[in-house]
Amino acid sequence: MRRYLRIVVLCLACGFCSLLYAFSQLAVSLEEGAGGGGGKPQAAAASWLAGGGRGGARGVGSVGPAAHSGRSDRYGLNVQPIQRMHLAVVACGERLEETVTMLKSAIIFSIRPLQFHIFAEDQLHDSFKGILDSWSFLQTFNYSLYPITFPSENAVEWKKLFKPCASQRLFLPLILKEVDSLLYVDTDILFLRPVDDIWSLLKKFNSTQIAAMAPEHEEPRIGWYNRFARHPYYGKTGVNSGVMLMNMTRMRRKYFKNDMTTVRLRWGDILMPLLKKYKLNITWGDQDLLNIIFFHNPESLFVFPCQWNYRPDHCIYGSNCQEAEEEGIFILHGNRGVYHDDKQPAFRAIYEALRNCSFKDNNIRSLLKPLELELQKTVHTYCGKIYKIFIKQLTKSIQDRYDRPPKER
Ligand SMILES: *[C@@H]1O[C@H](CO)[C@@H](O)[C@H](O)[C@H]1NC(C)=O
Ligand SMILES: *[C@@H]1O[C@H](CO)[C@@H](O)[C@H](O)[C@H]1NC(C)=O
Ligand SMILES: *[C@@H]1O[C@H](CO)[C@@H](O)[C@H](O)[C@H]1NC(C)=O
Ligand SMILES: *[C@@H]1O[C@H](CO)[C@@H](O)[C@H](O)[C@H]1NC(C)=O
Ligand SMILES: *[C@@H]1O[C@H](CO)[C@@H](O)[C@H](O)[C@H]1NC(C)=O
């Protein structure tokens, strides 16, 4: 009787397995049908995961010559209406020109439409509106302006923290409730690649990652956090929050481990207790708070390489961002005011070239020649030594954006 039962169970199991197999074969053939029969299904799935997509294999969806395939594949995927890329910035004080130049660099190189979220002090609103409305003929972006706002009970405390209103960024997931994902950047950022490129990293997040930032330093011997910080920080050298890519849906949902209570806290509940606890020990304001949060929740952070947040620190102490020298500089971060003084003339030259160029010169390429001459003059400075990388990067980005046949755009 027992043996008989065992045989029945075995048969059932076998039947179940073959059923599963039949289904998986069916799924595979469906997938191949959709993919035009090209390639193994595994490979197709993998390239999808890697953000590549099957546009190339399909033939119909793919656009343009092989030279552009990395880019065009992404567009083969867009079956639904094109999703906008959301970019947020917080501008206070004298940051109008810098912010506008940052937005311009995003518009110049990006391919998909952009939605800007500009948080600014009230006296800057009219200027932003005037300038951005004058670019509206481009039809590649739209924008919203917001006042600086803090949770009312602690508004004063928040405003005092670090530079005026820099901590606004911590509240973006709570203010922009309808926005799924967002790229936050400081005002002193310049895009040298399309925003599309960094935006595509969102799809590379694993299931626990909610945000992405670059390390504060590559070289621990000159890192700030590992030598001076009086609070926990992420990884070996901490992270820099000047370029922060966020899946805010996930940030709003997550319960964060912390060193204040044994229960996990939501984003909206963790910030003020954290500030209260570490107020006397933090130096770089909200960036320090982010470092503390990701110290306790390291599985939630996607760390991208330094060329997505390239700062003077990466060139003044020698070469401290190998990836940039091999692959290019994607996002420039002129912190310490280097766009406005003479300390890093290479950074300043790039800033001024982008600031000066107008959308109305319908040839963006015209910024390259004078910039190359300008940068050559800086070759004796630390960061000027890599001026060829700057030129190569800008040339490539302009070609990718403007030299493609119109149907690809
Ligand atoms: C920008 O465009 C998107 C998509 O068309 C739309 O949902 C959004 O409301 C627009 N925003 C503004 C400020 O016009
Ligand atoms: C703040 O720094 C002091 C001095 O290094 C240290 O003793 C203290 O534990 C720190 N406070 C917190 C909350 O980590
Ligand atoms: C953000 O995360 C949510 C929840 O996991 C997901 O549905 C959404 O697609 C993600 N957004 C992007 C742009 O990947
Ligand atoms: C996601 O990646 C992070 C960083 O590499 C890692 O710590 C975490 O365990 C990963 N999560 C999963 C679910 O694999
Ligand atoms: C930008 O314009 C300013 C003032 O009009 C000029 O002095 C400067 O040389 C220009 N710089 C570049 C790089 O075009």
Each residue's pLDDT tens digit, 137-191:
999 999 999 998 876 677 777 766 655 576 889 999 999 999 999 999 999 999 9
Q: Has residue 307 got a pLDDT over 70?
A: yes
Query: What is the per-residue pLDDT for 135?
Result: 95
Q: How far apart are CA 127 and CA 360, in angstroms?
A: 19
Q: Ligand 5 centre from 353 Cα, in Å?
A: 7
- Ligand 5 geometric centre to CA of 351 (Å): 10
Give the mutation target among 207, 249, 251, 254 for probing the ligand 3 site: most ligand atoms within 8 A of CB. Answer: 249
179 or 15, which is more confident:
179
Rounded Cα–Cα distance for residues 293 and 271 (Å): 9
Query: 162 vs 26, which has greater pLDDT?
Result: 162
Atom of ligand 3 nearest to the CA of 205: 14
Q: Mean pLDDT for the chain?
A: 82
Bridge-based pairing state of the strands 301-303 and 211-215: parallel
Question: Pick the residue with more confidence: 12 or 314?
Answer: 314
Indicate the range of 4-18, 117-131, 194-208, 377-391 predicted with least confidence.
4-18
pLDDT of residue 213: 98
- Residue 83 beta carbon below 6 angstroms from any ligand 1 atom: no
Ligand nearest to the CA of 348: 5
Q: Which ligand is nearest to the CA of 206?
A: 4
* Token digits of residue 148: 């600086």
pLDDT at 36 over 80: no
Closest CA to ligand 2's atom 1: 281
Q: 259 is written with which tokens?
A: 């060193």
Closest ligand 1 atom to 142 CA = 1
Nearest listed ligand to the Cα of residue 369: 5
Regarding beta strands 141-146 and 114-120, do their DSSP bridges make them parallel or antiparallel, or are they unpaired?
parallel
Indicate the angle between helix axes 2-34 and 41-49, nearest 10 degrees.
Answer: 70
Give the integer Cα–Cα distance in Å for 274 and 260: 8
Report which of 63, 145, 146 is spatially closest to residue 111, judged by C-alpha positions. Answer: 63
Q: Which of 85-99, 213-227, 354-368, 371-385 is predicted least confidently? A: 354-368
Ligand 4 centroid to residue 206 C-alpha, Å: 6
From 209, 236, 295, 303, the mutation candidate for ligand 4 (largest count of ligand atoms within 8 A of CB) is: 209
In this prediction, residue 89 carries a pLDDT of 97
Q: How far is ligand 1, taken at its centre, from the CA of residue 142, in Å?
A: 6
* Cα distances (angstroms) measured from residue 117 to each of 44, 137, 200, 205, 218: 36, 19, 19, 23, 31
CA–centroid distance for 68 within its chain: 22
- The residue contributing the CA closest to ligand 5 atom 5 is 356
pLDDT class of 313 with cuts at 50, 70, 90: very high
pLDDT at 27: 47
State if residue 352 touches ligand 5 by the CB under 6 angstroms criterion: yes
Residue-level length of the chain: 409
pLDDT score, position 67: 32
What pLDDT is attached to residue 33? 36
| Among 84, 85, 116, residue to substitute to test ligand 1 (most atoms within 8 Å of Cβ) | 84
Note the pLDDT of residue 46: 30
pLDDT value of residue 402: 86
Q: Give the per-residue SS3 of the chain.
A: CHHHHHHHHHHHHHHHHHHHHHHHHHHHHHHHHHCCCCCCHHHHHHHHHCCCCCHHHHCCCCCCCHHHHHHHHHHHCCCCCCCCEEEEEEECCCCHHHHHHHHHHHHHHCCCCEEEEEEECHHHHHHHHHHHHHCHHHCCEEEEEECCCCCHHHHHHHHHCCCCCHHHHHHHHHHCCCCCEEEEECCCEEECCCHHHHHHHHHHCCCCCCEEEEECCCCHHHCCHHHHCCCCCCCCCCEEEEEEEEEHHHHHHCCECCCCCCCCECHHHHHHHHHHHHCCCCCCCHHHHHHHHHHHCHHHEEECCHHHCECCHHHHCECCCHHHHHHCCCEEECCCCCCCCCCCHHHHHHHHHHHHCCCCCCCHHHHHHHHHHHHHCCCCCCHHHHHHHHHHHHHHHHHHHHCCCHHHC
Mean pLDDT of 240-265: 97
pTM of the complete model beyond 0.85: no
Q: Which residues are bridge partners to 89 per DSSP?
A: 118
Is the pLDDT reported for residue 58 higher than 80? no
CA of 272 to the centre of ligand 2 (A): 18
Ligand closest to CA 132: 1
Q: Which atom of ligand 1 is nearest to the CA of 143?
A: 13
Q: Which of 27-41, 88-102, 167-181 has the least mean pLDDT?
A: 27-41
Are β-strands 189-191 and 301-303 bridged in parallel, bridged antiparallel, or unpaired? unpaired
Q: How far is the CA of 371 from the centre of ligand 5 (A)?
A: 10
